[in-house]
Amino acid sequence: MRVLVIGSGAREHALCVALSSDPAVTALACAPGNAGTRAIAEPAAVDAADPVAVAALASSWRADLVVIGPEVPLVAGAADAVREAGIACFGPSEQAAQIEGSKSFAKHVMSAAGVPTARSWPVGGPAELETALDETGAPYVVKDDGLAAGKGVVVTTDRDAAVEHGHRVLEAGGAVLVEEYLDGPEVSLFAVTDGTTVLPLLPAQDHKRRDDGDAGPNTGGMGAYAPLPWAPPGLVDEVLATVLQPTVDEMRRRGEPFSGLLYAGLALTSRGLRVVEFNARFGDPETQVVLPLLETPLGGLLYAAATGTLADHPPLRWRDGAAVTVVIAAPGYPERPRTGDPVTGADAEGVLHAGTTVDAEGTVRSAGGRVLAVTAVGEDLAAARQRAYERVAGVRLADAHWRTDIALAAVEGRITLPAAP
């Protein structure tokens, strides 16, 4: 099977690593890829946001399966274009991808499906913003209704900061969603689906804030770990029954079947499970810790989802142990990341490239805000965490920034579920 991966981040590098170990995958390409993916996958030039270009590349490269990593090409309709070219594609249609492309759309789907989520107030102007903030009270949650690369939400007790974020989005021509605050720890749970059958993967936890102690601005994610030793028993079964399957069933009922990777961002609140958001693709950096623990060959799993045969796929198999990934970011991330700096040690085991390129002399250089995702697997979370930070120490990037507390609270048993009211 010839597999083409679309994207250029650490998520796509992790996908390529997993796909390259699948005996059924006989050829692998990543477009446009990065300095790390080219070591295991054939590079190809493409504008990932152009559905016609993606489909043309898939056809010319003779792909049997296309795996679309980022949300932008999905929301633009790249999966539709690939399927119209007669090629199997792992990724939802343009219509179905609106579950990530529009938070208001996702709320309508959840309401119809009876999925538990935060109350929300759509905002179209400054006066509505003020009214919604009055209704919710602090802490305030203000979201960009559209795609924002994981950085479009402000959670704050500072009303002025909430108003400023809402005004900024509105002035840029976007729509705003104000939500009630959800207490409790957050969980990321991926599910592979063909639009009918749903197979959940391992739950993981992302660290969204830039700095230690969950301080600083929101980012695309500074690290992650899996599995979650503090998660309540039966969590995955509960999410499958109350969130994932009802959502997939509702999308199919609407005539907008969701096939691909459905990502549920969840909060385990004092009032029970609540959906924070849906994404329409593998999350980054959670993918970097979930896939190393998956024993089931990835190519066959994604092909079954892309071809509507997931019900016939064998049960998923998982390795024992845990995985931790630590993101190494460029100075100035996320506001104004500096790029072009040389990177050394990036070819070591477990180092996944996020924002890198190779210059004419063969030097790996930073090319984005998140530069590397350094990943390790261990017999337990403490061992995986120690190994990941040992690998971080072997990387050199001038003035780089990373958190030193990824998975630390879980290792130390400091994550607790809020008591019911």
Same domain, yes or no, for 327 and 391? Answer: yes
With a CB cutoff of 8 Å and minimum separation 6, the contacts of 291 are: 14, 15, 17, 18, 298
Q: What is the pLDDT of residue 79?
A: 98
Measured distance CA(358)–CA(378) in Å, rounded: 31
Measured distance CA(80)–CA(68) in Å, rounded: 11
Residue 163 included in any domain: yes
Of 259, 283, 312, the residue at which a domain comes to its end is: 312
> Residue 420 — pLDDT band, cuts 50, 70, 90?
confident
Q: What is the pLDDT of residue 330?
A: 98
Listed residue (119, 89, 124) closest to 107, CA to CA: 119
Measured distance CA(207)–CA(319) in Å, rounded: 23
With a cut of 90, say whether residue 387 has pLDDT above it: yes
Of 312, 338, 355, the residue at which a domain comes to its end is: 312
pLDDT in tens, 213-244: 999 998 999 999 999 999 999 999 999 999 99
Query: What's the mean pLDDT in 395-399?
Result: 98
With a cut of 70, say whether residue 147 has pLDDT above it: no
Residue 331 included in any domain: yes
Residue 366 included in any domain: yes
Same domain, yes or no, for 175 and 187? Answer: no
CATH number at residue 363: 3.90.600.10
With a CB cutoff of 8 Å and minimum separation 6, the contacts of 413 are: 230
CATH number at residue 221: 3.30.470.20
Same domain, yes or no, for 151 and 270? Answer: no
Residue 188 included in any domain: yes
Q: What is the pLDDT of residue 138?
A: 84
With a cut of 80, say whether residue 72 has pLDDT above it: yes
Query: What's the mean pLDDT in 252-265?
Result: 98
Residue 108 included in any domain: no
pLDDT in tens, 45-56: 999 999 999 999
* Residue whose tokens read 């995985």: 323
Of 254, 283, 312, the residue at which a domain comes to its end is: 312
Same domain, yes or no, for 192 and 168? Answer: no
Q: What is the pLDDT of residue 148?
A: 58
Same domain, yes or no, for 63 and 85? Answer: yes
Same domain, yes or no, for 29 and 146? Answer: no
Measured distance CA(342)–CA(225) in Å, rounded: 28
Position 166, amino acid: G
With a cut of 80, say whether residue 124 has pLDDT above it: no
Q: What is the pLDDT of residue 41?
A: 98
Q: Which domain holds residue 211?
A: 183-312
Same domain, yes or no, for 172 and 188? Answer: no
With a cut of 70, say whether residue 5 has pLDDT above it: yes
Looking at per-residue pLDDT, the higher value among 297 and 183 belongs to: 297
Same domain, yes or no, for 220 and 244? Answer: yes
How would you classify the pairing of strands 272-279 and 260-269? antiparallel
With a CB cutoff of 8 Å and minimum separation 6, the contacts of 127 are: none
pLDDT in tens, 269-291: 999 999 999 999 999 999 999 99
Residue 101 included in any domain: no
Residue 106 included in any domain: no
Please give the backbone phi and psi of residue 11, each rounded to the nearest 5 degrees, phi first. Answer: -55, -50
Measured distance CA(75)–CA(297) in Å, rounded: 27
Same domain, yes or no, for 232 and 333? Answer: no
With a cut of 80, say whether residue 191 has pLDDT above it: yes
Same domain, yes or no, for 85 and 151? Answer: no
With beta carbons less than 8 A apart as the criterion, state whether 407 and 385 touch: yes
Measured distance CA(35)–CA(342) in Å, rounded: 12
Name the domain count of the chain. 4
Query: What's the mean pLDDT in 387-410?
Result: 98
With a CB cutoff of 8 Å and minimum separation 6, the contacts of 285 are: 10, 11, 206, 221, 222, 223, 224, 325, 327, 373
With a CB cutoff of 8 Å and minimum separation 6, the contacts of 64 are: 1, 2, 3, 87, 88, 303
Same domain, yes or no, for 343 and 400? Answer: yes
Mean pLDDT score of the chain, rounded to an integer? 94
Same domain, yes or no, for 132 and 55? Answer: no
CATH number at residue 126: 3.30.1490.20
With beta carbons less than 8 A apart as the criterion, state whether 280 and 93 touch: no
pLDDT in tens, 93-122: 999 999 999 888 999 999 999 999 988 888
With a cut of 70, say whether residue 151 has pLDDT above it: no
CATH number at residue 40: 3.40.50.20
| Half-sphere exposure for 253 (CA within 13 Å, toward CB) | 10
Number of neighbouring beta carbons within 10 Å of residue 253: 12
Query: Please, is 206 exposed, middle or buried when counting C-beta atoms within 10 Å of its C-beta (0-12, 13-18, 19+)?
Result: buried
With a cut of 80, say whether residue 149 has pLDDT above it: no
Residue 109 included in any domain: no
* Least confident window among 148-152, 205-209, 250-254, 361-365: 148-152
